[in-house]
Amino acid sequence: MDKISKIIIKPLEKSIYLKPYTMHFTQNGSKRTWDLLTVHDSVAIVIYNTTRNVLIFVKQFRPAVYYGSIPVEDRKGEGEVDIQKYPPENGITIELCAGIVDKLLPLEEIAKEEILEECGYDVPINKLEKIGSYCSGVGTSGSLQTAFYCEVRDEMKVAAGGGVEDEIIDVIEMTVDEVKKYISQNHIRSPPSFMFGILWFLYNKKE
């Protein structure tokens, strides 16, 4: 993971991924409003390497997680963040391999592409097992994420992974025991989809 420095917060600039809205509605006779965002749907994949009995994850810096780690009283509307007081490591997460649905392709095709780009494994589409779909970010976006499971072997690794273009992603491996220890912590720097995928794996594929 590259060293992160000079973090500056600014008001929202033009975005091709986020579109903010305010919804007005009447519920039980009362008028209400709710701010929301529209974002792309996504896929996430639980990857298990059967050659060495390890789960494959990605680690990356998430600006929103970093910003959320700063106490409210120290958050500035804009300006440079004191990274000595709030180290960038606070924004580094462990996640399932995942990606947005921004192409008119079957979800399995997009999942296959993400596995190759982020983790370096070339997985046949027929080896992807669909786990299910669920709402993500219900308070702000309500986007749909679809989870898959696949098993890989060392000989299926054809690239280093790490993402494409401006992505900076580290591929990490954890044994089942290491994953169990990780999710038993009081503070887990991973999204709910990670927890869902791991618990699904432990319940359905542990043996």
| CATH assignment of the domain containing 103 | 3.90.79.10
Q: Which residue has the higher pLDDT, 18 or 62?
A: 62
User: What's the number of domains the chain is made of?
Assistant: 1
Question: Cα dist. 16→12, 40, 64, 102, 166 in Å?
Answer: 12, 10, 17, 11, 15
- The whole-number average pLDDT for the span 65-78 is 85
**164 pLDDT more than 80:** no
Q: Is residue 187 part of a domain?
A: yes
pLDDT per residue as tens digits for the range 172-193? 999 999 999 999 999 999 999 9
CA pair distance 70, 106, nearest whole angstrom: 39
> How confident is residue 170, by pLDDT bands cut at 50, 70 and 90?
very high
**1 pLDDT more than 60:** no
Q: Is residue 197 part of a domain?
A: yes
Looking at 39-48, 70-79, 149-158, 183-192, which range is the least confident one?
70-79
Q: Is residue 74 part of a domain?
A: yes
Q: Is residue 149 part of a domain?
A: yes
Residues whose CB falls within 8 Å of the CB of residue 5, separated by 6 or more in sequence, listed in order:
83, 88
Among residues 153, 143, 41, which one has the least CA distance to residue 99?
Answer: 41
**Lookup: tokens for 117:** 């780009």
Among residues 62, 139, 54, which one has the least CA distance to residue 95?
Answer: 62
Q: Is residue 6 part of a domain?
A: no
- Give the sign of the dihedral formed by CA 115, CA 121, CA 124, CA 129: negative
Q: Is residue 22 part of a domain?
A: no
Q: Is residue 182 part of a domain?
A: yes
Q: Is residue 19 part of a domain?
A: no
Question: Domain range for residue 50?
Answer: 41-204
